[in-house]
Every structure is written in C-alpha cells, then in structure tokens.
Amino acid sequence: MTVGPLTVTDLVVEFVHDGYAIRPLDNLSFQAQAGELVVLLGPSGCGKTTLLSCVGGILTPTSGTIRLGPTDVTGLKGADLDAYRREEIGFVFQAFNLIPSLTARENIAVPLILTGHGRKESFARADELLEQVGLSERSGHLPSRLSGGQMQRVAVARGLGHNPLLLLADEPTANLDHIQAEAIIRLLQGLRDDGRMIVVSTHDSRLVPIADRIVQMVPPDQHEERPTHDITFSAGESIFEQGDPADLVYVIKSGNVDVIRVLADGGEELLTKLGADQYFGELGPFLGFPRSASVRAVSDVVLTAYSPRVFREKVLHKT
Amino acid sequence: MLLLTFRDLVYRKTRFIVVTVLGAVVFALLFVMTGLVNQFNLEPAETVEQFDADQWVLPEGVSAPFTSVSLMPAATLDAVDAATKSPVVITRSSVSDGGTPEEVVLVGFEPGGLGAPKVVEGRVPEAEGEVAVGRTLDVDVGADITVAGEPFTVVGLTDKTTVLAGIPFAYLTLPEAQILAFTSTDVISSVLVSGELGALPAGLTSLSSDEVIDQTLQPLEGAIASIDLVRALLWIVAAIIVGAVVYLSALDRQRDFAVLKAVGASNTSLLGSLALQAVLIALGAVALAAVIQVFLAPQFPLPVTVPTSAFWQLPLLAVVMALAAGAIGMRKVLRSDPSQAFAGAGT
C-alpha cells in the first residue's frame, strides 16, 4: 500500500454566518508522507474538522490547494470527487455516527454494498475487519449494545472497509476512558504501520506521543506573556482586523475608536463606539479565538496593551 | 438498500406499526366508500336487467319508472306495436312484518310475462295474497307480512332487486298490485317490450333499459359526488400519514444519510431506501385495510360491494401516493450534506 504525500497549501475556508464572514482556516499549509500519523491539534473551533472535511473532499475550500499524491483534490468535481471519497479516503466520524438500526457487522458492510460491492464480499470484508479490531464476538450487536470504545472500533473498521490510502479520524478518542482510548490509539498505530496515512483531528494530548507529525491549528506561542505597554494610533488607523489572532487586551487612555464587524458582502457594521477608560479585545485572548471584529481609531488614540493575565488581575479584578 | 430499509423498519417498528394501522383504517374506509359507489352504480343495472325488457313504454313527460309516478290506461297495451310485451305496475308502497313499515318498490306483473321476478328461493307469486320480496327485507319464505296494510304471504325471495340506494322490491300479481296502488284494474304504469317496438301513439314515449338505468341513478348523483369528495379527502389523509412518517424518518436518519453519502453512497440508493419504506408502509396499510373492510362493510346500513378491481387499483394508487407523499422526505435526503457526518463544519 503506497500513497503519495498529502500537501495542503494556503488553504482558506470562509463561511458566511448571519451575514458575517467566519474564516476557520486562514492560509494553512502543511505536508505529510505515506505511513505517517498526522495529528491536527487545537482547541474546539480552530478548524480541525473543517480541514478534515476539505481533505476528505466533502467540503470545498474557499481557496488554496490540497493534493494527495498526483490527485488535485480541490480540483475534483462530481463523479471524480465521489470516486475519490469512495476509493481513497476512509472516514472515522466524531461521535462514531454508526447507523443505529444496523448491527456492527452491517454498519461496516452496508456502506460497501451501497457503493457497489457485492453483498457476500462486503460481509466477508466486515468479518475480517471486525476480527482486526477485536470485535468478532460483537458483530451481531446493535450500536446501542456496544460500549463507546467498541463503537469507535466499529467506526474505524467501517472507515477501513474499502482499504483506503488515507484514513481521516475526527476526535477518535473523544468521550472515551483511558482504557478505551488506549485501544483506539493502538489500533491507529497498527494501521499507520501498514503504510497507510492517518490524519487525526483532536484536542486530546494523549495522541501527541504517537504522532509522526503535529499540525498546530493555533500558533502555540500566541498567548506568550508580553509586558504591558502603551501604543499610539493615528485617526483612521486600524488597531486590529477581524480574523486576526488575538493576543492583547486594550484599554483606551485617550481618544475614540470604532468597533466594526466586516460583513460577508464586504460591507461593514458599526457595533459600538468606545472612548477613554473603556477596554476592548478581551474575549479573543481569553478564549483563544481570533478577533471577531475590527477596531479602528476615530481620532488619535493612546492605548494601554495588556496580556490577558495582567488585564484580568490589574483591570478586571480591580474594577 | 433492502437491508438498510428493513433494518430501519424493524428499528422504528412501533412508529411504523402505528402508522400502518392508521393508514389501514383510512384505506379500509376508502375500500368501503369505493364499495358504496360501486353498489350505487351496479344496483339499477342489476335490477333493470331482471325485467328482461328492451324498451319501457311510459306516458310522455315521465322521466323513468322508478323515479316518477307513471300512470296510463291498461288499454294502452293494445296500442303498443310489439311482438312481446307485458303491462306492469310500478309504484312505491310499504311492507311490514309486524315491526316498523319499510318502504318498497311495488311491482305488479303478469306471471310468465316480462317483469316477473327471478326468485332465488321459493316460487313466483301466482295467486291472490302471495308476494315475492327482496332478500334485503330479511323475511323468510312462508312469512306473513302486510303490503300497503293488506295481508300477504311471502312465497319467494329475489336477489339484487333494489333501487335508489337499497329500496327493496315487492312483487305481486298484476291485478292485486293495480287494486292496491290504483284501486282499479284499468290502470298500469308501463308496458315492457322485448324485441322490436313499432311506432307509438301520441302521448307515449319509450326508454331503453340503459336509459332507465341512467335515469334511476340520477337522484343518487349528489350522493355519489359527495362520497367521491370524501374519497378524495381520505386519499389526502392517507398521503399526509405516509408523507409525515417518511419525512420524520428522513429527519431522524439525516445524519445516517450524511454518513453514507460521505463514504460515497449515491443519492439514488439512499432515495431508493426511503421510497421503498414509503411503499412498504402503504402496501402494508392496504393489506390490513383489505382485512378490516371485511368486518367494516357489513356495519354499513347500505349494501357495500367492493369491486375486485379495487383490490389491485387501491394498492397501485397507494404506491403512487406514497411516493408522491414521501417526496418531501426524499428531498431531505437529496439535500443532506455529507459534511454533516462530521460534528459540523467550522469546529
């Protein structure tokens, strides 16, 4: 089994939600090789699942390219895209997403049957995979009669049904206790050792030690503590833009600013006007989210910039 | 596809059983309504056929023998130019076997002539005080009853002799019927003719048997139209029931469909699964309805004759209806986004 490198270049995904543009992926680039277990690491909301959806060909990015070996995934359309998903990619969805009316064995076989494989062949493959994930004795059980770990193993087996080159797993250890998580991690390791490329999205650091490559979805040093300092902006100057990484909280010493939301159509919506002694930009650094609005100086302004920790101690708790 | 469909039916069996039973009740009513309309249409044809007449001679201005009062001199018989002809009396009367009097169509006939009853039990009345009645009056041969207040003995029973939604017939010999109806043997209602009919004298007209059938059915047209409307409404109710369950099923299975789409399953195979489910529910409901109507039909005060064709037409229509009603649910499948298989884009 060989698969060419996975190359993600300048990937941008932008959604429009309630009229506002949200950009969960902003110029992301990385490369992974065959036989590697790639961990996409980051908090909720950082775009891990969006990236998996793009690599899996079920979401079209706004811009950028994804190549798997010679295949330009972002250039595939219609039947070619269906064939790519059907033949080259295996999915392990978050929360297992097993079909509740089907037994473990049928959950593996039915997708194969629906994609044109023979019934007998599909069930034989399901039996083989159930044995591989150590669940042969549970093959006739409905998902409701399986533990979380067992359901996840069935989900992995389903993802392997057509023997894909690339396995995409979304939070495969979420909601599992350490024993069940360990079994899944061991299973993923074994699959990687078979020469398959595995891309796992997770915020579970237990997967980090076995990863061959880690893609940090949020820059790791962005919350590094910076000293409190004053900063000056001239009238009309941008203090930060919507979607920028959030690191500092600002208190206005003098002058006025506008807080503006940039709309999907390129227009702008004024959210509020702020003046001396008011602060802005605190939620992004606290929560690890990018900036949700732009801030622009209306007059010449002097701001005091705080790290989130210092802001919390010196400003929030003081007030 | 079959496996996916059947497993889901089993998994949500309570819902599907409830819906199938509800659908079956609606379809059973449809069977009965169809049977009623069929009976309304059959009834005059079966009855008129038993008179063995090709033409019915009536006074001009009389629309039909069973729906209008028809009187003509008995001597008119001689003026009718036909090889085979018989005078008859047809009028409304009532019979009673001691209980509440029941309305009947009283027919006076000449024994051996046209219009004589085709008895299925007993014999044809031949003498004074004898009557043959329709089975639906629920009296036995030998029973003593009154016709227009006069005592008679039932000597024969007829079948399929009703008009105007179940009014039964009572057959007497012609003179007795004339006396009971007109207190005179000089009056008759119509002359029945078999074969060629020559020119009629002024003041008389003739209707073919088919015209008599059509005219007899006319008073029921409003009732038939009403039943047809109820039938249309029942179809809508059935469509809503099947459509709602298919839509609910599509909603419940949206994530399943997204997962299957994500792994490459085609829309066609998933739609097929949902469509098959709709068809199976509809056919299951119709099959159950076919049994229910056997018990339901006798409870109706009017005769119900479900035509054999209904037993293949109704399932066929039910399948078409189920597919149409399930279209909204199926559209949900078409629109389900494979990215929903993940927890949700943007996370």
Question: What's the rounded Cα separation, in Å, for the pair A217 and A51?
Answer: 10
For A:86-115, CB contacts with B below 8 A are 86-87, 91, 93-95, 97, 99-102, 106, 110-111, 113-115
* B50 in a structural domain: no
CA distance B41 to chain A (A): 49
pLDDT value at position A3? 66
Q: Check if A48 contacts B (Cβ < 8 Å).
A: yes
Q: Is A193 exposed, middle or buried (0-12, 13-18, 19+ CB in 10 A)?
A: exposed
Instruction: Check A82 against B266: CB less than 8 A apart.
Output: yes
- Please tell me whether residues B230 and B266 are part of one structural domain: yes
Of A254 and B264, the structure prediction assigns the larger pLDDT to: A254
- Is pLDDT above 80 for A104? yes
Name which residue leads in pLDDT, A293 or A265.
A293
Average confidence (pLDDT) over A276-283: 89
**CA-CA distances (angstroms) from residue B158 to A317, B45, B129, B181, B291?**
103, 15, 17, 21, 29
Residue ranges of domains in chain A, CATH in brackets: 6-216 (3.40.50.300), 229-316 (2.60.120.10)
Mean pLDDT of B280-308: 90
Lowest mean pLDDT among A104-108, A233-237, B140-144, B235-239: B235-239
What is the C-alpha end-to-end distance of chain A, expressed in Å?
62
**Domain membership flag for residue B347:** no
Residue B263 to residue A86, Cβ atoms within 8 A: yes
Q: Is residue B51 part of a domain?
A: no
Instruction: Answer whether residue A247 shows pLDDT above 90.
Output: no
Q: Is the pLDDT of residue A11 over 50?
A: yes
Q: Which amino acid is at A46?
A: C
Contact A111 B260 (CB under 8 A): yes
Reported as a single tens digit per residue, the pLDDT across A304-314 is 999 888 888 87
Average pLDDT on B172-192 reads 94
Are B125 and B196 in a shared domain?
Answer: yes
Q: From the CA of B251, how many Å to the nearest CA of chain A?
A: 14
Choose among B10, B341, B346: nearest Cβ to A97: B341
Same domain, B134 and B254: no
Q: Are residues B158 and B81 located together in one domain of the fold?
A: yes
Distance in Å, alpha carbon of B266 to nearest chain A alpha carbon: 7
- Residue A85 pLDDT level (bands cut at 50, 70, 90): confident
Q: Closest to A115 (Cβ–Cβ): which among B12, B259, B264?
A: B264
Quote the ipTM score.
Answer: 0.70
Residue with tokens 């070996």: A69
Residue B3 has pLDDT above 50, yes or no: yes
Residues B152 and B241 in one domain: no
Say if B214 falls within a structural domain. Answer: no
Does A15 contact B at CB distance below 8 Å? yes
- Domain hosting B148: range is 61-202
B149 burial level (CB within 10 Å; 0-12, 13-18, 19+): exposed
CB contact under 8 A, A53 and B344: no
Last residue of a domain, one of B140, B171, B202: B202
pLDDT at B268: 83
Examine residue B56 and state whether it is found in any structural domain, yes or no: no
pLDDT band at B343 (very low <50, low <70, confident <90, very high): low
Which residue has better confidence, B129 or A189? Answer: B129
CA gap B66, B44 in Å, rounded: 10
Residues B190 and B306 reside in one and the same domain: no
Average pLDDT value over all residues in chain B: 90
Q: Which of A24, A47, A91 is opposite residue B341, by nearest beta carbon?
A: A91
Provide the pLDDT for residue A319.
53
Q: Is residue B48 part of a domain?
A: no
Distance of residue B343 Cα from the nearest chain A Cα, in angstroms: 6
User: Does residue B324 lie within any of the structural domains?
Assistant: yes
pLDDT tens track for B47-96: 999 999 999 999 998 988 998 889 999 999 999 999 999 999 999 999 99
pLDDT score for B258: 86
Asked whether residue B243 falls in the same domain as residue B313, the answer is: yes
CB contact under 8 A, A82 and B4: no
* B178 lies in the same domain as B291: no
Q: Test A114 with B10 for CB contact under 8 angstroms.
A: no
Mutate to test the interface with A, among B3, B256, B263, B274 (most CBs of A within 10 A): B263
Mean pLDDT of A192-210: 84
- Are B158 and B291 in a shared domain? no
Cβ of residue B265 closer than 8 Å to a chain A Cβ = yes
Question: Choosing among A48, A114, A158, A289, which should be mutated to test the B contact, i.e. which has the most B CBs within 10 A?
Answer: A114
Q: What percent of chain A has pLDDT over 90?
A: 34
Task: State whether B71 and B152 are in the same domain.
Answer: yes
User: Between β-strands A197-202 and A37-41, what pairing exists: parallel, antiparallel or unpaired?
Assistant: parallel
User: Do residues B116 and B173 both lie within one domain?
Assistant: yes
Domains contained in chain B, number: 2
Under the banding of pLDDT at 50, 70 and 90, the label for residue A1 is low
Burial of A56 (0-12, 13-18, 19+ CB in 10 A): buried
Query: Which pLDDT band holds residue A17 (cuts at 50, 70, 90)?
Result: confident
Question: Do B121 and B19 belong together in one domain?
Answer: no
A33: left (phi over 0), alpha (psi -120 to 50) or beta: beta
Q: Which residue of A has its CA nearest to B3?
A: A110
pTM: 0.71
pLDDT at B157 over 60: yes
Inter-chain contact A85–B342, Cβ cutoff 8 Å?
no
Q: Is residue B215 part of a domain?
A: no
